[in-house]
Chain A
Amino acid sequence: MRADTAGQPRRTAALTEQFKAGLAAPICLTWELTYACNLACVHCLSASGRRDPRELSTAECMRVVDELERMQVFYANIGGGEPTLRPDFWDLLDYSVAHHVGIKFSTNGVRLDKRAAQRLARTGYVDVQISIDGATAEVNDAVRGIGSFAMARRAMDALAEAGFGEFKISIVVTRHNVSQLDAFKQIADEYGARLRVTRLRPSGRAADCWDDLHPTAAQQRLLYDWLCARPDVLTGDSFFHLSAFGSPLPGLNLCGAGRVVCLIDPVGDVYACPFVLHEQFRAGNVRQPGGFARVWRESELLRRLREPASAGACASCGQFDACQGGCMAAKFFTGLPLDGPDPECVLGHGQPELASTCLPDRPRPSAGHSRTGRAAPVLIPADRIATRAAT
């Protein structure tokens, strides 16, 4: 989230301090509509696959929208699973927009044919984000499944043809696609689309493949330099731990969980952040009396997250102001203390702890809906990764 801080008459405490104490409503609300998905990406943050029979009904979803409108949640980031698999997806989208809750939705493109693209082009206040994780079918399909690259490209073609305007292409940066950053940018430029790159966290199914897929220390440096040179590339403010390399990346450099960030999952459970699907971070359910607003305002967990936290082992680090100790979800699912360094601390301070935890000891993500057992990434030898876009 990038916000303008209009020059103000009275200097209040720094912005991050204001945000740390929490807001009247979230700014970055993710709402996952279904656990159903046609794909089975190895790093799926919500471990999606099968629909959950307890998912919110159309009427219940509309009640949530009404509530978001009352709370003045300006927009919701809709995801899943694959949200367009819900038969009422388009109705919910129209309902939401009509109720002044803008929709930014992520899709793998499965339902985004010509007709859908034309419909979207006619709807105001909708942002579409197409996910790919490789600039070539080879790299992408290794993580997202055979045929998923072609499917995503078809959806992009449809949007471009329908004159949708600037859509987003969203990438999770991994060890295997970091060398394709320029190629991703090229694809986005060709479509007149906006590139969005975000951080891989060990959440959902990614808990099982994070060790193999997260960028190496050298790649993190490369990524930081690449991002610094391209301020037009969106990051969802997800790489703020890289700010410890030097000047801070644009955006909000702090963990927003429970403060400005929140998740409503398909069954109505509210979590502090989309990347902490675990009992320990579940704040309540929208079906409870008082609904989402009450959970946001009164949950013990969220209140605790808004209190000043100790910096732990990061307290003595000169970069703490820039990096704030990194991502809570990344620490939690790698078994690191929440008040210490991020597992990908650019100064390497996460390494010793990380080396001492092993996969079976780490907390397991809950709420998994994978269709099969554990997925494993198809590993591609580095020398076989094309660094130019296949067009």
Chain B
Amino acid sequence: MHHVAFDLFRAYRLSPAVSLRAEPFGALAYHFGTRRLSLVKSPELVTVLRLLDSHDSAAGALDAAGVPIRQRARYAVALAALADSEVIGAR
């Protein structure tokens, strides 16, 4: 699907135009600018998104959320897709 390069060692943030709504499967992310709805399909990923802003790197947010190192690559793919749809952006 998405194979955008994602730099885990950069700082990111949830876009200020995005509203995250908790759902049983994770969350819905709505971008008020692009008016696109994205699905965040696990509660763990939602936690990561909420931690991005307070960490100096995406890797830092993953650690803080308790994501094991061996799962980082999979999270990077998910984060890349969310960056692609402007749900998150580098800061």
Contacts and interface: CB of A to CB of B under 8 A. Distances in A.
B21 A24 contact: yes
B3 to A, nearest CB: 9
A23 to B, nearest CB: 6
B32 A102 contact: yes
B66 to A, nearest CB: 13
B23 A23 contact: yes
Given A102-B35, A125-B32, A6 B40 contact: yes
B51 to A, nearest CB: 15
A21 B24 contact: yes
B44 A10 contact: yes
Contacts of B24: 18, 21, 23-24
Given A3-B37, A4-B37, A100 B19 contact: yes
Given A24-B23, A74-B37, A102-B35, A8 B45 contact: yes
A75 B75 CA distance: 29
B81 interface: yes
B28 A27 contact: yes
A123 interface: no
Contact of A3 (B2, B38, B81): B38
Interface residues of B, number: 32
Nearest to A125: B32
A59 interface: no
Contacts of A25: 21
Interface string A1-34: 1111111111010010010010111010000000
Given A25-B21, A72-B19, A6 B28 contact: no
Contacts of B78: 6-9
A10 B42 contact: yes
Closest 3 CB pairs of A and B: A6-B81, A8-B41, A74-B30
Interface in B5-64: 19, 21-26, 28, 30, 32, 35-42, 44-45
Interface residues of A, number: 25
Contacts of B42: 8-10, 12
Nearest to B42: A10
A4 B28 contact: no
B81 A4 contact: yes
Contact of B74 (A9, A23, A100): A9
A1 B35 CA distance: 11
Nearest to A6: B81
A74 B34 CA distance: 13
B90 interface: no
10 contacts: A3-B28, A3-B38, A6-B78, A8-B45, A10-B42, A18-B23, A23-B23, A23-B24, A24-B21, A125-B32
A256 to B, nearest CB: 13
A4 B28 CA distance: 10
A3 B39 contact: yes
Interface in A23-59: 23-25, 27
